Amino acid sequence: MSRTLTFNIFRFNPQDPDSRPHQEVFTLDETESMTLFIALNRIRAEQDPSLQFDFCCRAGICGACAMVINGRPGLACRTKTRDLPDEITLLPLPAFKLVADLSVDTGTWFRQMYQKVESWIHTDKEFDPHAQEERMDNALAEEIYELDRCIECGCCVAACGTAIMREDFLGAVALNRLARFILDPRDERTTQAYFDLVGTDEGIFGCMGLLACEDVCPKQIPLQEQLGKLRRKMALAAVNHMLPKFLKPLD
C-alpha cells in the first residue's frame, strides 16, 4: 500500500513585500521510485504553481536541485522518497542568497569563489590551438578527475558549521578546487602561491574538521582526505624555512 507523504516546505519570496517566511504543508500519494524532484514537480503541477525550486539535469549532474532535506543538504533528484519518513521537511540551502522558496543563488557565490582561489590553470606557456594536447599520466589524470567530479551543488558549504558561522570561510568546495590545481602539472603555481590563496583562517586553517562536507557530498568527493592533505601541505609550507635541509619537503 502506498504511503501518503506530508511535505513541510519553506515558502518565502524576498522580492514580494507581502511575503513572510513560513512553512506550507502539502500531501501527496507516494508512487514507485518517486524522487523528491518528481514529488516537487507534482506539487507544483497539481497543487501550487507558485512553488519555486531549481532543477535542470534530473540525474545528479548539474547540482541545481540541492536543498535541505529533513535537516541535511542533498540533491532532490537523487533522493528517493522511500528512503525518507512519511513527513518530509524541505528548506533552502543556508549560506547562499535566497531567490525564493527552495531556490537559492549558488552562482554568485561560486563565481566569487573561483576568483578567490584563482580557479584556472596558471601558465606562461603560449597556447597553440593547433598542437596536440599535452599527454598526462593516466593515474594522475584519474586523480585529478576524482576531484573534478564536483558538481558545485553547494551541499558541503550548506552543511559546514564554520561556513554558516563565518561568511568569509572558503568552504570545502573551494579547498577541493585548489587541491585539483595543485595536482595538475600544467599549473605552474608554486606552493607559496597556493599558500597565499588559502593559507589563512578564511582558508584551510579556518577548517575545524567537522567533516559534514565529507558526509553530505552527493558525489562522495574525498573531501576529508583532500582537506587533510591541503592542511599538511600549507602548514609545512609555512615552516619550510625553519626545517633542516634533509627535512624540507618543498626543496
Q: Which of 201, 243, 247, 250 binds other proteins (CB under 8 A)?
A: 201
Whose Cβ is closer to other proteins: residue 40's or residue 91's? 91
Q: Which of residues 133-162 bind other proteins (CB under 8 A)?
A: 159, 161-162
Written as one letter, the residue type at 249 is P
214 is a site residue for other proteins (CB under 8 A): yes
250 is a site residue for other proteins (CB under 8 A): no
189 is a site residue for other proteins (CB under 8 A): no
Interface with other proteins (CB under 8 A), residue total 57
Whose Cβ is closer to other proteins: residue 9's or residue 95's? 95
Whose Cβ is closer to other proteins: residue 91's or residue 104's? 91
Q: Which of residues 62-101 bind other proteins (CB under 8 A)?
A: 68, 71-72, 91, 94-95
108 is a site residue for other proteins (CB under 8 A): yes
Binding site for other proteins (CB under 8 A): 68, 71-72, 91, 94-95, 108-109, 112-113, 115-116, 159, 161-171, 195-203, 205-212, 214-215, 222, 224-225, 227-232, 234-235, 237-239
